[in-house]
Amino acid sequence: MAYDVDLFVIGGGSGGVRAARTAAATGARVALAEDSRMGGTCVIRGCVPKKLMVFASEFREGAALAREYGWSASSGEFDWSRFSARMNGELDRLEQVYHNLLNGSGVTIHNARATLQDAHTVALSSGETVTAETILVATGGRPVRPDQTNAHLGMVSDDIFQMERLPKSILIIGGGYIASEFACILNGLGVEVTQYYRGAQILRGFDDEARGLVAEMMQEKGINLHLGTNIVEMRSAADAEGDMRMPAHIPVPQASADAVGKPVWIKATNGDARVFDAVMFATGRAPNSHGLGLEDIGVKINRRGAIEVDAYSKTAVDNIYAIGDVTDRIQLTPVAIREGVAFTETVYKNNPTKPDHELVASAVFTQPELGTVGLTEEQAREIETIDVYCTSFRPMRTAFADRPDRVLMKLIVSKENRTVLGCQIVAEGAGELIQMVGIAIKAGLTKEDFDRTVAVHPTMSEELVTMQNPVRSA
């Protein structure tokens, strides 16, 4: 059968765009559909605008630190509207870059929603249908609101970038990296931040010692963090004010010019009841897999909504593949890009390639940042006997200004063969540092290889090659 195109990609995020471009470079006829903005979560509603907000949020403390170094510095007032306009202009530029890259690669772009009529036919919301020999689903994920009364009153992470003004106060519900990052960002921008997390410690799944230090430093910087806490009731402040059951001593401020939407009254499991200018849910993300017609043609979707794929990203239907967050393997942009490249190698270069999901470095852009690669201490000691090399100290840059900031450097080492199994860094710039350490750990270097490396002095990272004795074995 003759098909309209060789490959149809559904989704214009980082993974889908890379797969489309690399496949087109082999001579394949490629089309791609995106029903929102080209660039996907990372470029439009995720890592790029978030990192710009991280940069913006650091200047207030930077100005305060500058004064301790003798500068007459003032952070002044943060202008959200000015920053937001500049940020959105940058996102528009990047979106156009993605369009240009696809056009330059010869990929046909459909600005429409795509669903599957059958295993080889894509139906577009524009009314067109396109047949394809191979179909790649790269539709990513989305933030979800909890299933509770009045959850619509709260924002999710996508909404943060669309705020017309900053709230004076915000409640962030959740303890993962998204919740914790935005708590730090908004705190740095001058918002009064409260964070509720139902668990015993934020950043579940990360190294216990590292996440404990991040939580301590977040509180030190003014974030009102409540662990073991969740909300039991939420409603608009206006409704709560008129409710005679509401305790009389709970203040209900009038909506201010700086409010985002309408103020929300919250009652928590710890007994607190108060009004916030805004509430943000950061309680999870879900794959964008439903409503595409996948299950009707035999593609398997698990109970979390993720498309099930094999080691080569192939679904249960031979000519349909899936990559990125919609498969819920590792939800990171560079991983989706690698999966897109591996797809092209497998399908169009006759070089079956499994995307490598081992020893992937990542960073949490809290303040301070957390960088991690390989196993945590808790994971490693369940597998084998380990030595833990760890140091925590006040970095020179902020110790000079008598700040309480602390840094953590930690190596997890196999006791049997001395291979470095994991590294955890909590420090300013930890994301940059862990990228370099990730190369060493991916290469399988031993603790002695680290020790043979001459330190760069004076730096924080020199501790990674100067820790001589383990603090404990497990």
The secondary structure of 123-191 as a DSSP string is: EETTS-EEEEEEEEE---EEE---SSTTGGGSB-HHHHTT-SS--SEEEEE--SHHHHHHHHHHHHTT-
Determine the pLDDT at residue 260: 64
Rg of the chain's alpha carbons, rounded to an integer?
Answer: 24
Provide the b/e sequence for 344-364 (b: ≥16 CB within 10 Å): bbbbbeeeebebeeebbbbbb
Element (H, E) at 8: strand 5-10
Determine the pLDDT at residue 247: 45
pLDDT band for position 1 (50/70/90)?
confident
Please indicate whether the domains covering 5-142+286-348 and 151-281 agree at the CATH topology level: yes
Q: Is residue 251 reached through a cis peptide bond, with omega within 30 degrees of 0 on the bond before it? A: no
Minimal CA–CA distance to 474: which of 357, 387, 405?
387
Determine the pLDDT at residue 333: 97
Given a cut of 90, whether residue 425 has pLDDT beyond it is yes
Q: What is the DSSP letter of 296?
A: G
Determine the pLDDT at residue 75: 83
Beta carbons of 378 and 207 less than 8 angstroms apart: yes
Q: Where are the alpha helices (DSSP H) in 69-113?
A: 80-104
Determine the pLDDT at residue 255: 36
Given a cut of 90, whether residue 249 has pLDDT beyond it is no
Determine the pLDDT at residue 250: 42
Span 72-97, mean pLDDT?
Answer: 95
What average pLDDT does the chain have? 95
> What is the distance between the alpha carbons of residues 430 and 372, in angstroms, rounded to a whole number?
9
151-281: CATH topology is FAD/NAD(P)-binding domain (3.50.50)
What are 170-218's pLDDT values in tens digits?
999 999 999 999 999 999 999 999 999 999 999 999 999 999 999 999 9
CATH class in words for 362-473: alpha beta
Give domain limits for the chain. 5-142+286-348, 151-281, 362-473
Determine the pLDDT at residue 239: 80
CATH entry 3.50.50.60 includes domain 5-142+286-348: yes
Q: What residues contact residue 64 under an 8 Å CB cut-off, 6+ apart?
A: 73, 75
pLDDT band for position 74 (50/70/90)?
confident
Determine the pLDDT at residue 141: 97
Given a cut of 70, whether residue 244 has pLDDT beyond it is no
Residue 3 phi/psi, 5-degree rounding, is -105, 155
What are 31-40's pLDDT values in tens digits?
999 999 999 9
What are 13-28's pLDDT values in tens digits?
999 999 999 999 999 9
Pick the catalytic residue: 110, 249, 290, 457?
A: 457
Residue 290 phi/psi, 5-degree rounding, is -90, 155
Percent residues over pLDDT 90 in the chain:
94
Span 222-234, mean pLDDT?
Answer: 97
457 is catalytic: yes
